[in-house]
Structure 1
């Protein structure tokens, strides 16, 4: 993670908008991609110099009203706006740290599933998996961390038929988790490792895409069984902060 994640996040979102997208008229040749800083400041109802300092990392601890105004000005959706608040330091203190082990009842629930089921922490570490999941991910050298498997294991590009889409989803999920708990050591170390070892990860991480849980169709290709389309369903684990239960259900069973 860089020293000015907030500024980078704002610049990325600013570059994605054109004057016409936000009701502004563009005159003459523009030297910047997207909106100018002054235009964002006008839309947010604040001093342009203040916004510039905020984006450059020279202004810290903006009020929640300022953060909300910037989110509206940049047309952020709910998840991006939530991430913006986290980066700006406008988050409640005392967030519970992720649990790193699963409860007995959850373990029983996972094992009882006929489909592949597993539990991930915010850093995408596998902290529990049933036999079907272990069999499904058998092409990988190690079933330890979904992000590491995606970017560092050569098997991933054959296993995930639409690898680009899956990789983007994994990184966006990590971005979301980092916004919720930027001081989570496991996640911070993982991002540093992948950024150093994978050019693809570094490029996606710099895009600042962010989302949480998804319900997505995923095309898998297992070397033993061939193409396997699945629906990925994710659920927060009640009573275990940060844990996500994921079930890969074959499409034919939906």
Structure 2
């Protein structure tokens, strides 16, 4: 039912779900993912929520490998929002340890595959051990030239936009920027994602149909793909279906 409501077209033939080759046309260059459903996955199995987050790490591992193999240039994963601090303390503490666990285990493979790790978000307010883990991964992969693995960590889009406006305002006050120079390009250059292209495809799992304060500016012309699949269960078939649907769509950017 959700697929129909959201215009999530099913590929015409089952063969379309075969592995996607990087040489194919119209591969989304930047995929952004709202990884949702870890808690519900655990609840369905009578497990604590943290078990779902632990299993969600395996889905991240699969997603990174699939995106890299497919020729995606940027993969942004919404790992922790500025609103997630409202969750129970024990769950937040567990989530803050996940970047350390994931990156310590996966960093050798990421380096081997030429993947560059970066982080978008207010990392200065994260626990020191979380900061150390993400900074280490970013530093040790800074010379890599392959896919960018971008973690949105302690990230909130409204706050990002507000801070960008404040910075531009200060530059106008100081005379560094003229009021007439303010346009979309200037604001984009002051966002946390300034060095990245805007996402082409947004994937959200677990049946929720909202953006949850994620990349509100950057997703203005992205294609959206929603699925009922819970994030820990998201696999190659789901990834291929999302990309196949994207390949079938025509992006007009307001034109005809």
Give me the TM-score of the superposition, normalised by structure 2. Answer: 0.24
Give me the TM-score of the superposition, normalised by structure 1. Answer: 0.24
Kindly indicate whether structure 1 or structure 2 has the higher relative contact order, using CA contacts under 8 Å at least 6 residues apart.
2
